[in-house]
Amino acid sequence: MMKKQMGWQFDNSYLTLSPTFYKKVTLNEVPEPKLIALNYLLADELGLDTEALYEEEAIHMFAGNAFPEGAAQIAQAYAGHQFGHFNMLGDGRALLVGEHVIGEERVDIQLKGAGRTPFSRGGDGRASLAPMLRELIISEAMHALGIPTTRSLAVVTTGDAVYRETALEGAILTRVAASHLRVGTFQYAAAFAGVEEVRELADYAISRHYPHVATADNPYIAFFEEVMERQAELIAKWQLVGFVHGVMNTDNMTISGETIDYGPCAFINAYDPDSVFSSIDHEGRYRYSNQPFIGGWNLARLAESLLPLFAEDEDEAITIAKQLIGRYEDYYEAYWISGMREKLGLISDEPDDLALAERLLTIMAQYKADFTQTFRALSENVRPVNAFFTSEEFRVWEQQWHARLARQETMLDDMQAMMQSVNPAVIPRNHLVEEALTAAQQHDFTKLEELMAACANPYDVLPEHMHYTEPPADDEPYVTYCGT
Ligand code: AMP
Ligand code: MG
């Protein structure tokens, strides 16, 4: 047990759930933990003693070698549909250290890559440095873009090698999340425990994330609607920045509405709605254009798990579930078009706005326009000389857009300021992430720090970060990997 507390305030409500929901874990110590990255701004937000986090005691905690008082040390049980196939899963390489309490809020502190757990199956429970730094870069960039996400507090190396195709340096990421409740946690309760456990879990999720629904006529229906709305909003936000999650399995969809599990994710450069980056997604199940649909598919799995709580009579429960799920698309489209209106500087609502936005995307796809740069150029009223901006199709669209803008009473300057506040100039572009990770694997962290600094202010580029706004010289096919 540690002497200094570094500001941690643990209180583990998860341990009040039935033991079926978790397994206690004792980790093997790692030999030589070394702090690679500390997100001190996040540490500060969490009310932690930032300086103490650079010291050995803290580093041993980030490595899973020692734990502050009150820490839980558990692996959570969950199941999930992976590429459509149902499996028992659970934290196979993650350890929940506990819930850190800051005033009225509580967040999960989890070590990813900390070692084997009872759910590790054939895996080693470990992670290597580059993928953990990749999660750090992208999750923090998502946060800066205003997209709900788990956060990354620290990355340490372990002093051990992990064996993938080659020997790699082992690393552990400290992940911070509103919670790690997933659609798959409910699927686990429904498939492997029982109705009472589903109810117990739902009550827990409600008290933790949606306490206001507790007094609804049927809190479980209201709870489902909340999760559905948060997911619709989240996926709309992904679409609006060209983010491809890559592995939208039901175990990777949170109940809180945060983006989780940065494995094979990537941002689109040249716009192609069929973009898929993951090496194993051969069918394109999780391609960009299919993400909204998969969101609904996953929510249907959540509804199935909650069925007995919707109504006692099964037919009635199914009718309710179908009605609920039937509204998902409307939620999603409402969030998407409202986000798209902001991107295009449209303050009022006109029925043809959807067609205007869709037409723009069609032309962007036709000319392989860079997703981020195109919207940013429209916001800054600049026109890069490229196939898209010089096309006849764009010229015609621009006339329609200008006519549409002229029908609202906003000053051009205000409109452009609004557009610039929602259309990022900087995203963690694939080639830049790769460049930073290649250097980081040689323990040169300058590129990584610079990239993270640029991504921390995506709407407001400093002169020294201008080169981060450029699309890659040639947008070569990019391949990403799961579970590395
Ligand atoms: P993911 O693809 O990261 O969502 O992981 C899917 C499942 O595989 C989860 O149950 C993980 O805990 C498990 N898993 C991934 N990598 C490993 C590993 N190296 N060792 C043990 N389990 C793992
Ligand atoms: Mg996962």
User: 294-303, pLDDT tens digit by residue?
Assistant: 999 999 999 9
pLDDT band at 188 (very low <50, low <70, confident <90, very high): very high
CB 292 within 8 A of CB 332: yes
Task: Name the average pLDDT for the chain.
Answer: 96
231-266 CB burial, b ≥16 within 10 A, e <16: bbbbbbbbbbbbbbbbbbbbbbbbbbbbbbbbbbbb
**pLDDT tens profile 10-35:** 999 999 999 999 999 999 999 999 99
Q: Which residues of 70-87 are buried (b: 16+ CB within 10 A; e: fewer)?
A: bbbbbbbbbbbbbeeeee
Mean pLDDT of 156-181: 97
CA of 336 to the centre of ligand 1 (A): 32
442-448 long-range contacts (CB < 8 A, ≥24 apart) are: 445/36, 445/37, 448/37, 448/133, 448/137
Q: Is 90 left (phi over 0), alpha (psi -120 to 50) or beta?
A: left
- Does the pLDDT value for residue 56 go beyond 60? yes
Residue labelled with tokens 């329609």: 400
pLDDT higher than threshold 70 for residue 335: yes
| 219 bridge partner residues | none
Contacts of 445 (CB under 8 A, 6+ apart): 36, 37, 439
**pLDDT confidence bin for 4, thresholds 50/70/90:** low
Q: What is the pLDDT of residue 409?
A: 86
Q: What one-letter code names the amino acid at 414?
A: D
What is the pLDDT, as a whole number, of residue 411? 83
* Beta-bridge mates of residue 85: 82
Given the CA of residue 251, which atom of ligand 1 is nearest to it?
4
Catalytic annotation present for 272: no
pLDDT score of 412? 82
Q: How many CB atoms lie within 10 A of CB 417?
A: 12
Among 301, 270, 268, which Cα is nearest to 287's? 268
DSSP structure class, residue 20:
G
Cβ-contact 138, 262 below 8 angstroms: yes
Ligand 2 centroid distance, CA of 261 (Å):
5
**Both structure tokens of 221:** 């229906």
**Secondary structure class of 251 (helix, strand, coil):** helix
Q: Is the pLDDT of residue 205 over 60?
A: yes
Is residue 5 scored above 70 in pLDDT? no
Residue whose CA lies nearest to ligand 1 atom number 10: 89
3-state secondary structure (DSSP) of residue 426: coil
Element (H, E) at 296: helix 291-310
Q: Is 257 helix (H, G, I), strand (E, B) or coil?
A: coil
Long-range contacts of 406-409 (CB under 8 A, 24+ apart): 407/348, 407/350, 408/346, 408/347, 408/348
pLDDT given for residue 473 in this prediction: 87
Q: Ligand 2 center to residue 78 CA distance, Å?
A: 10
Q: How far apart are CA 464 and CA 105, in angstroms?
A: 37
Q: What is the pLDDT of residues 426-461, one digit of tens each?
A: 999 999 999 999 999 999 999 999 999 999 999 999
Closest atom of ligand 1 to CA, residue 117: 21
From atom 15 of ligand 1, which residue's Cα is the shortest distance away? 483
Most informative mutation of 93, 281, 480 for ligand 1 (most atoms within 8 A of CB): 93
Percent of the chain scored above 90 by pLDDT?
95
361 is written with which tokens? 């995307």
Catalytic residue among 91, 108, 251, 281: 251
Where residue 1 falls among pLDDT bands split at 50, 70, 90?
A: very low
Q: Which residues line ligand 1 (CB under 6 A)?
A: 89-93, 119-120, 123-126, 247, 251-252, 261, 263, 482-483
Lowest mean pLDDT among 62-71, 225-234, 383-392, 407-416: 407-416
